[in-house]
Structure 1
Amino acid sequence: LADRPVNELSGGEKQLVIIARALTQEPKVLLLDEPTTHLDISHQISIMDILRGVCKEKKLVVLAVFHDFNLATRYCDSAMLMNNGRISSIGPIDTVLTGENIKKVFRVDMIVKRHPITDSLYVVPLSISRSKITQPKDMIVHMICGHGTGAPLMKLLLEHGYGVTTGVHSTLDTDYDAACTLGIPVVSEAPFSPITEENHKANLAMIDKASAIVVSNVPFGYGNLKNLEAAKVALERGKMTVIVEETPIQQRDFTDGKARSLLEELKSKGAITVKSRKEALSILKALRK
Structure 2
Amino acid sequence: MNIVLQNKELTATINTKGAELISLKKNTIEYIWEGNPKFWDKHSPILFPIVGTLKNGEYNYADKQYGLSRHGFARDNDFHVDETFQNKAVFSFSSSEATAKQYPFDFELKVIYLLEEDNLTIHYEVTNNGASDMPFSIGGHPAFALTGNFENYSLFFENDESLISYSLENNLLSNRTTVLKLSDGKLPLNYSLFENDALIIKKLESKKIQILESNKPLLEVVLHDFPNLGIWTKNDAPFICLEPWFGYSDTLQSNGNLFEKEGIIILLPQKTFQASFNIKIY
TM-score (norm 1): 0.20
Structure index of larger Rg? 1
Structure number having the greater strand percentage: 2
TM-score (norm 2): 0.20
